[in-house]
Amino acid sequence: MLLTIATLAFFGLLLMMLETFLPGWITGILGFVCLVMALTLTLNSEELSNWSTWGRRGLAAGILFFSALSLLVWLKYFAVKFWNRTLTLTTQIESPDTSHQPALNSQGVAVTELRPLGRAQISGKHWEVRCEDGFTPQKTPIRVTGSEPGNLIVRVVS
């Protein structure tokens, strides 16, 4: 009977550890059921009737303690580190340097039609811009009113 209890506890623990890699809760639930069956056999088995009540409870507490400790060690040192090493992106994407952008209220000319996105020449350089006024024809004078990631925000000079 002790071999059966140990086998159920081992496979229950193994299935719960396997749940970290297999989605769907099926292996975790099966592992939990195996652990509960091992505890039930520990406390209610007729073959362990010669054991004292405290001996059975001690064995059940040992199974619970060992299972919880094993799962915590597994999650802390193995499963999480495996996922972090293999499936987590750790590269940093730096934001673009905006120190050389034209100042607010700088004026320029639309190089392409702005619908509302397009290109404009401001301070002698070509920039990707978004026009707040919507559609703007080519060669229309514009001025910078702000910026957003990847674009300058412009408005038509009246």
- The mean pLDDT of 65-89, rounded to a whole number, is 81
What the block records as the tokens of 10 is 């081992």
Tokens 């159920």 sit on residue:
8
Domain 107-156 has CATH 2.60.120.10: no
Task: Tell me if 20 sits within 8 A of 3, measured CB to CB.
Answer: no
Entry pTM: 0.54
Residue extents of the structural domains in the chain: 2-87, 107-156
- pLDDT over 70 at 85, yes or no: no
User: Picking from 69-73, 79-83, 150-154, which range would have the lowest pLDDT averaged per residue?
Assistant: 79-83
Q: What is the pLDDT of residues 44-61, one digit of tens each?
A: 999 998 999 999 999 999
Q: Let me know how many helices (H) and strands (E) the chain has, helices first.
A: 4, 5
CA–CA separation, 121 and 16 (whole Å):
62
